[in-house]
Amino acid sequence: MRVGAGLIELHVHGSRSLKQKRGVVKAIIQRLRNRFNISVAEVDGQETWQRAVLGLAVVGSDAQGVRRRLGTAVEFVESLHLAEVRNSDLEILNVARADFNEEAAEEDPLPWENE
């Protein structure tokens, strides 16, 4: 299993209040969720008028697909022209199946496996 995490630092031009900035950030977050079905949240800059940092997360079976999906999401945010993308960073983590205790899984089957 591959887990992709990304950060996008945004500068919201023309924002004169937290309310204006939050409107732009909420629109970007909603569009990302709808278009890419990824997890997105504002993770920094909540108390500033023009700066926001979005955190993104994607899970998949191959690293290339996860990286491509995150990269496409960053490009999409840039194409919206709602805020300037100042910086972005992507990272892919490998979660090994070897961490699972297969013997315990055989002894305690899942409820639907007893049917």
Q: Which of 68, 87, 86, 85 is nearest to 28 (CA)?
A: 85
User: Strands (DSSP E) along the chain, which ranges?
Assistant: 2-11, 39-44, 51-60, 84-94
Instruction: Tell me what pLDDT residue 95 has.
Output: 87
Q: What is the pTM of this model?
A: 0.81
Per-residue pLDDT of the chain (115 residues; tens, 9 = 90+): 999 999 999 999 999 999 999 999 999 999 999 999 999 999 999 999 999 999 999 999 999 999 999 999 999 999 999 999 999 999 999 987 765 665 555 555 555 555 5
Residue with the two structure tokens 């887990």: 3
Residue 105 has a pLDDT of 54
| Whole-number pLDDT of residue 98 | 66
Q: Taking the domain 2-114, which CATH number applies?
A: 3.30.70.1120
The pLDDT, as a whole number, for residue 99 is 56
